[in-house]
Structure 1
Amino acid sequence: MTDPLGFPPLMYGEEVPADAFAHACMKATMGCDAGMVAYAFGQNRMEAALIFAPEVPLRRAMAMLPLCGVGFQNALGALAPPEVAVHLGWDGTIYLNGARCGGFRAMASDPDPDAVPDWLVIGLALPLWPETDSPGDTPDQTTLYGEGCPDVMPPHLVEAWARHTLHHLNTWEQDGPRALHSDWRALAQAMGETVTQGALTGSFLGVDEDFAMLLRDAAGDTHLIPLTTLLEQP
């Protein structure tokens, strides 16, 4: 059956009723080819998930998490009104105009940072409409349409996300991570601010070459938190 969405070469889509991330992870464990985009469109939520087949250790391959975030910002930036600001949290959270609005998650076949995994899945979830009639009760959380994007159709957003993500993936593979670092840092939320990540709280100094968080605590000690700590268990 022909997929109703249009994807760039080497990518193809599968629509599912719900939980695109779980579907993509299931397909990956079955040996599905890389480049599959699972997607689900609900009344109040859209989801998508992309399967990667890394050729580098997981520590480096986890750059796909910020890479997918930059691809999303590019995609929404092309479809949304220009006044809608998109920023990215280190942990995969998406921010629209400063408020949380969904985010990314990750799962790999093997959580060993030094091993090359058989597969890596990056999932995206984005709320479209508020779940309640009182969105003002949670000013730190928002939705796509609540931020003035009623003309952004989820199918178009998923297509654009796939295209922009593939572009950044090609650049990363050919030229290394320098361009991705520059693009991501321009969008990073809370850089230089006090943040809490896991059991640690401190100043978010930046990231290393593999996007591990550099966090300086109140005692002046600097901690390195790898992106692999964000992985969900298969």
Structure 2
Amino acid sequence: MTAPSFPPLFSGLAVEGQIDPFDKACVEAARGCDAGLVVYNLGANTLQAALVFAPEVVLADAMAMMPLCGVGFQNALGALAPPEVAVHLDWAGGLRINAASCGRLRVAASGRDPAAEPDWLVIGLELPLWPTSDAPGETPDQTALYAEGCAEVDAVDLLESWVKHTLVGINTWQDEGVAPLHKEWRGIAHGIGEGVEIFGETGTFLGVDEKFGMLLRREDTTRLIPLTDVLEGS
């Protein structure tokens, strides 16, 4: 397998075996690595990768990198997969291909204070390439990339494309603010207007605020769940 090639200012770090690129990226970020590090593990059945960011905004604003990376993934797969393959994004990071769950995005940062500027932020991507079961019909709500008409999509090409499209999104976010990202994300968001369960709460997903916080309607009240609530770690 050829090593992926990334745009300038990005550098790759391959890991193998059971090493989780997300955990490795968090360790490297805490050690002070440069922003733009791409840690990846291209296994036979799973694509795992993580991007290290060094935000120059407070955490509440930096969290936009998660939906931005989701849109980057949708654009990347859209450029490589057959046109009938549909990609949608769950608010909390889940990825959906042709309506079924197919991997996820993860996020961690150096701290959890929404009003403080984090030293680093890491976005992880986990994507199953092949089904884990020989009887996928038993779990129709779960799928894998190559089970959805994407067998010709090379994992290295997809990783490269994800990073490139995410970089385009970052540049647009820096130049034009969050509005274009909001528009693109809403077009592929899953579940808006529908009943959802999130962090043990149920209600109707009305949409998001300007910082991508979930607006959850419960009986006579609407509650805002900040996107920082999906952060992993302490």
- Shift of the alpha carbon at 1:4? 2.5
C-alpha distance in 2, partners of 1:220/1:188?
24
C-alpha distance in 1, partners of 2:156/2:14?
10
TM-score by length of 2: 0.97
C-alpha distance in 2, partners of 1:171/1:140?
34
Structure 1 equivalent of residue 211 of structure 2: 210
- Shift of the alpha carbon at 1:199? 2.5
Matches within 5 A, 1:114-133: 114-133=115-134
Matches within 5 A, 1:61-140: 61-140=62-141
- Shift of the alpha carbon at 1:161? 0.3
CA contact (8 A) 2:3 2:156 kept: no
| Runs of 5+ consecutive residues of structure 2 not aligned to the other structure | none
SS in structure 2 at match of 1:46: strand
The one-letter amino acid paired with 1:231 is L
The reply to whether residue 39 of structure 1 matches residue 40 of structure 2 is yes
The reply to whether residue 185 of structure 1 matches residue 201 of structure 2 is no
| Runs of 5+ consecutive residues of structure 1 not aligned to the other structure | none
C-alpha distance in 1, partners of 2:67/2:217?
21
Structure 1 equivalent of residue 233 of structure 2: 233
Identity among equivalent positions (%) equals 58
The one-letter amino acid paired with 1:183 is E
- Shift of the alpha carbon at 1:52? 0.4
Tell me the alpha carbon deviations over residues 195-223 of structure 1, each in whole angstroms, 9 at most, x when there is no partner.
01112211111100000000101x22000
Structure 1 equivalent of residue 3 of structure 2: 4
Matches within 5 A, 1:19-38: 19-38=20-39
C-alpha distance in 2, partners of 1:132/1:141?
10
TM-score by length of 1: 0.97
How large is the Cα RMSD of the aligned pairs?
1.0
Structure 2 equivalent of residue 154 of structure 1: 155
Structure 1 equivalent of residue 13 of structure 2: 14
The one-letter amino acid paired with 2:9 is L
SS in structure 1 at match of 2:119: coil
C-alpha distance in 2, partners of 1:124/1:161?
10
- Shift of the alpha carbon at 1:134? 0.7
C-alpha distance in 2, partners of 1:114/1:154?
37
Tell me the alpha carbon deviations over residues 128-180 of structure 1, each in whole angstroms, 9 at most, x when there is no partner.
11111111100000000000101111111000000000000011011100000
The one-letter amino acid paired with 2:38 is V
Count of residue pairs brought into register by the alignment: 231
Q: Which has the higher mean CA deviation after the structures are superposed, 16-25 or 154-163?
A: 16-25
The one-letter amino acid paired with 1:19 is D
- Shift of the alpha carbon at 1:5? 1.5
C-alpha distance in 1, partners of 2:153/2:25?
24
C-alpha distance in 1, partners of 2:21/2:137?
29
Structure 1 equivalent of residue 224 of structure 2: 224
The reply to whether residue 54 of structure 1 matches residue 55 of structure 2 is yes
SS in structure 2 at match of 1:186: helix
